[in-house]
Chain A
Amino acid sequence: MIKKFDKKDEESGSGSNPFQHLEKSAVLQEARIFNETPINPRRCLHILTKIIYLLNQGEHFGTTEATEAFFAMTRLFQSNDQTLRRMCYLTIKEMANISEDVIIVTSSLTKDMTGKEDVYRGPAIRALCRITDTTMLQAIERYMKQAIVDKVPSVSSSALVSSLHMVKMSYDVVKRWVNEAQEAASSDNIMVQYHALGLLYHLRKNDRLAVSKMLNKFTKSGLKSPFAYCMLIRIASRLLEETEGGHDSPLFDFIESCLRNKHEMVVYEAASAIVHMPNCTARELAPAVSVLQLFCSSPKAALRYAAVRTLNKVAMKHPSAVTACNLDLENLITDSNRSIATLAITTLLKTGSESSVDRLMKQISSFVSEISDEFKVVVVQAISALCQKYPRKHSVMMNFLSNMLRDDGGFEYKRAIVDCIISIIEENPDSKETGLAHLCEFIEDCEHTVLATKILHLLGKEGPRTPCPSKYIRFIFNRVVLESEAVRAAAVSALAKFGAQNDDLLPSVLVLMQRCMMDSDDEVRDRATFYMNVLQQKQKALNAAYIFNGLTVSVPGLEKSLHQYTLEPSEKPFDMKTVPLATTPITEQKTEIAPVATSKLPEKLTPSRQDIYQEQLAAIPEFQGLGPLFKSSEPVQLTEAETEYVVRCIKHTFAGHMVFQFDCTNTLNDQLLQKVLVQMEPSEAYEVVQYIPAANLPYSQPGSCYSLVRLPEDDPTAVSCTFSCTMKYLVRDCDPNTGEPDDDGYDDEYVLEDLEVTVADHIQKVLKPNFGAAWDEVGDDFEKEETFALSSVRTLDEAVGNIISFLGMQPCERSDKVPENKNSHVLFLAGVFRGGHDLLVRSRLALADGVTMQVTVRSQEETAVDVILASVG
């Protein structure tokens, strides 16, 4: 009867929680009855429960009050009540870190762990290990060793698991218990064996040889415990991964043999291990997949879930391997467990053919509202991948996504959908209008600021170029009226872009801007005022520079320059050109087919690689007069990978100079190199000004030396040059063991590969979100045009790739993607030439026998234009 009542309590939720309104001070007051004699176990038990409850609710206990309660609790060891004693163990474990002098109970616990009462022994061991530190561990070592080999399984398991926890704290002591653990590993009890194996592994995991020996031993002798088998499989697969062992390794054979184990748990673990192995081929996958296929029709829901979840993962990398299971997966679509059904459908979406998409989508939309957010995200990811595979299906997907967008859901889920829609819009111009319409509808009722601003930005970028831009204005202006500051500011920026691009909308936009200038928020007013003034000028160049394309400088760099400027008062206005440019983030060049990024949080603004170099170079006195760093190249290897000395070079470009940074590593342990420098012989009019050697280069510690080169001034178009490089240094032989060098050394040199400076080193990539506007802004003062025939190139894709990598410029407007089945294409490239002049390239490509290319270059300065045409030619 009482039990029934309890159950009801649980169901009705926290409303009837007897501990709900506990006061810490009241409970501690009550704890005084611990001091009474004789002890009343029932009341004490109740108070201990309250204390543990409070601790677990995150209530903070001060050290003094905790210590007082703890010492009061120690008196309860007088009582022989079993429940009370075990509650004491729990309390000790909970309070081990907040009370002082917890070691007071050491002897009491030692007595319990060696006593006759088996119920006490296991928990006493666990409590004891919580309060023990490295110095005390020696005192109880003897008892721990005995407990590990105890014949009572619970005692042995407790001791093993506690040892495992203590490995982190005092590895050296626990290491001495290896023999006992070994004995426990041959126990008949499955849990003891599992725990013993775990301890053995953790004691040896840093020694690969010992681990493989252990694996060898256990795989031969066989184990009783399925848990231990699972553990072995995990250890084996990790070892395989670390040693990059092939599929002919005995470890792999072991894992494969586990597929025939009689325990389902072991079979699944083995299959999962095989599936997750990197570079697994279809042949090795086949047995694992067929095992998972069997599980798909298991009556146990957990097994079906595990199988379909694993198959889902396989389907990402090897869709063909899973096709064999399609029939079983079809059966799971109607599974009563929604999680299983979802995974089955998303797996099928990955493996299935285009024709089945409609049917599957219909099926999934019937129950999508019943599954949890986490699975909805899985569905969205599957759809996103599908859209890239079958672009023609976008209307079905778009419909489905917009329905999902209307449903309730958390931030992660909504973001996944929005990202998916955006990627469809970018991939597929046909879907742009529907996509934008869905997103507009979404922001009408969107509680997530991040998503709203993101969509507004997208609307500003894409909206003005649609056939009917005016319809978006309403949605955007609604934001100004209804939303929070951040969203209002984003909406103002979006509005400005409409006004700048569409002349007939301009008057209305100006009216709206006027309204925004009376906003209550500073940022919104500032933006509105700024855009208002720019728009009123009605100058294309201004619009392009300040509305469409914004600043391209690196933010930390700008901050530093401005700070510097305020420190040194001068008459001159601040020059934007001295600020280092932002290196285009890698994420912009999303060329490979990536499904919607799972859950990448907005990255923090970290200083880019170039900002770091800037800092490092500025610290070297010789380089101080060079001005801001313009560009740093990717490292170039000047040696083979496995040679005596490994050298790579990073090219730093400044306005009138280049600095070559040579990162050298000495791989000989019997040599110390000193005064290391790289001598450079230029092929053109470049002039080496100075070498800055690395003073010392000990074994395996990388060091850098630098060469400063002046660029030819009289012939600015000579941008490319080849340098032959020789590393020169003083060798001092040394003892490989001590590293002690001989007193005298000898000079030596080492020939490196040639280093090329190309046109790409003089151009920094800059993304112009609106290329057309930027094109007009630069104007045709220094425009030049020429036509070339690229005879060696066979496809447009290849030509585009070659041009981008040769010029080192940023493709704009996604023009780096050549639509299928077209024989002409226009590539837009943007960059900044050394010295800070914008440089734009429009290249029309036509595919005939080879590829014909018409290049039009615009810049604010003539040299840059000449350089490009000269280098292409």
Chain B
Amino acid sequence: MGLFDKLAGWLGLKKKEVNVLCLGLDNSGKTTIINQLKPSNAQTQDIVPTIGFSIEKFKTSSLSFTVFDMSGQGRYRNLWEHYYKEGQAIIFVIDSSDKLRMVVAKEELDTLLNHPDIKHRRMPILFFANKMDLREALSSVKVSQLLCLENIKDKPWHICASDAVKGEGLQEGVDWLQDQIRTMRT
């Protein structure tokens, strides 16, 4: 792999840039996940509720990600759609301990999938069933049932349980996303 990277650098084929939207309800852990994925020297210590959106960048072995970390608060959700065109992939974060609002998450997801800018595009969606460390957390299987993920037929998707505070489960998801994006391009 290392040799290939160097070779790509020499040939002027820098790392491919990908724009990703990070969506989900408020307090689901979007900003925390993105913060964990950044290189350790760029991470911030305190995470506050996002207002509007913020743009973050991180790199994986073969891709350079630009993430639009959107605010999940109710009154800002209608602003997501301004950035749908932008995204080549979606990260959707769910608070798996919040059973009450699972329906709200499902509703937002359905609206998202039915949006004209998203509907007919074959873009990968990565689901994080976050906060798996909490005792009352649901399993990723249960979450995917509640959100009826099996109904998504025309887009590749993947769900993995994660604990963003410790960083567990994140790498698995990002690796999947990276593979998907690469296969889409070739």
Contact = CB atoms under 8 A, between A and B. Distances in A.
A106 B53 CA distance: 7
B130 interface: no
Contacts of B19: 37
B66 A107 contact: no
B82 interface: yes
B51 A35 contact: no
Contacts of A77: 54-55
A104 B76 contact: yes
Contacts of B83: 71, 75
Interface in B38-74: 48-55, 66, 69, 71
B51 A136 contact: yes
21 contacts: A35-B85, A35-B86, A71-B83, A78-B55, A78-B66, A103-B52, A104-B53, A104-B82, A105-B52, A105-B53, A106-B51, A106-B52, A107-B54, A107-B69, A107-B71, A108-B53, A108-B54, A108-B55, A110-B51, A136-B51, A139-B51
Contact of B79 (A75, A78, A104, A108): A104
A299 interface: no
A101 B77 CA distance: 12
Contacts of B86: 35, 37, 75
A71 B52 contact: no
Contacts of B55: 77-78, 108
B126 to A, nearest CB: 20
A38 interface: yes
A855 B51 CA distance: 87
Interface of B: 17, 19, 48-55, 66, 69, 71, 76, 79, 82-83, 85-86
Contacts of B85: 35
A260 interface: no
Nearest to B82: A71
Contacts, number: 45
A543 B118 CA distance: 89
Interface in A126-144: 136, 139
Given A75-B83, A104-B52, A107-B53, 20 more contacts: A35-B85, A74-B53, A75-B86, A77-B55, A103-B51, A104-B53, A104-B76, A104-B79, A105-B52, A105-B53, A107-B50, A107-B51, A107-B52, A107-B69, A108-B52, A108-B53, A111-B54, A139-B48, A139-B49, A139-B51
Contacts of A105: 52-53
Q: Chain A contact residues: over half helix, strand or loop, or mixed?
A: helix
A103 to B, nearest CB: 6
A77 B76 CA distance: 18
B67 to A, nearest CB: 10
Nearest to A71: B82
Interface in A69-96: 71, 74-75, 77-78
A136 B50 CA distance: 12
Nearest to A136: B51
Contacts of A74: 53, 82
Among B52, B55, B86, the one with the most A-chain Cβ atoms within 10 Å of its Cβ is B52
B181 to A, nearest CB: 14
Q: Chain B contact residues: over half helix, strand or loop, or mixed?
A: mixed
A658 B180 CA distance: 99
A37 B17 contact: yes
Contacts of B54: 77, 107-108, 111
Interface string A135-163: 01001000000000000000000000000
A147 to B, nearest CB: 16
B167 to A, nearest CB: 21
Nearest to A68: B82
A141 to B, nearest CB: 12
A826 B71 CA distance: 88
Interface in A163-183: none
A107 to B, nearest CB: 4
B59 to A, nearest CB: 14
A554 to B, nearest CB: 58
A110 to B, nearest CB: 8
Nearest to A79: B55
Nearest to B76: A104
Contacts of A110: 51
Q: Lowest 5 CB-CB distances: which A-B pairs, in order?
A: A104-B52, A106-B51, A107-B54, A71-B82, A107-B50
Contacts of A136: 51
A75 B85 CA distance: 11
Nearest to A70: B82
Contacts of A35: 85-86
A74 B69 CA distance: 13
Contacts of A101: 79
A496 to B, nearest CB: 73
Nearest to B57: A78
Contacts of B53: 74, 104-105, 107-108
B17 to A, nearest CB: 6
Nearest to A67: B82
Contacts of B52: 103-108
A139 B76 CA distance: 15
Contacts of A111: 54
Interface string A99-132: 0010111111011000000000000000000000
Nearest to A77: B55
Interface string A427-453: 000000000000000000000000000
A75 B70 CA distance: 12
Nearest to A80: B57
Contacts of A107: 50-54, 69, 71
A100 to B, nearest CB: 10
A432 B66 CA distance: 85
Nearest to B19: A37
A139 B55 CA distance: 19
Contacts of B49: 139
A35 B87 CA distance: 11
B18 to A, nearest CB: 9
B38 to A, nearest CB: 12
A129 to B, nearest CB: 14
Contacts of A37: 17, 19, 86
Nearest to B88: A37
Interface string A18-50: 000000000000000001011000000000000
A111 B44 CA distance: 10
A40 to B, nearest CB: 14
A506 B51 CA distance: 85
B3 to A, nearest CB: 26
Nearest to A108: B54
A606 B167 CA distance: 76
Nearest to B71: A107
Contacts of A75: 83, 86
A72 B139 CA distance: 39
A75 B86 CA distance: 9
A78 B76 CA distance: 20
Contacts of A38: 17
A106 to B, nearest CB: 4
Nearest to A100: B79
A71 B82 CA distance: 7
Nearest to B51: A106
A136 B85 CA distance: 28
A351 B127 CA distance: 87
B140 to A, nearest CB: 29
A107 B53 CA distance: 6
Nearest to A140: B51
Nearest to A35: B85
Contacts of A78: 55, 66
Contacts of B71: 107
Contacts of B48: 139
A663 B71 CA distance: 63
A78 B83 CA distance: 13
A38 B17 CA distance: 8
B34 to A, nearest CB: 12
B15 to A, nearest CB: 12
A104 B78 CA distance: 11
A563 B44 CA distance: 77
A38 B55 CA distance: 14
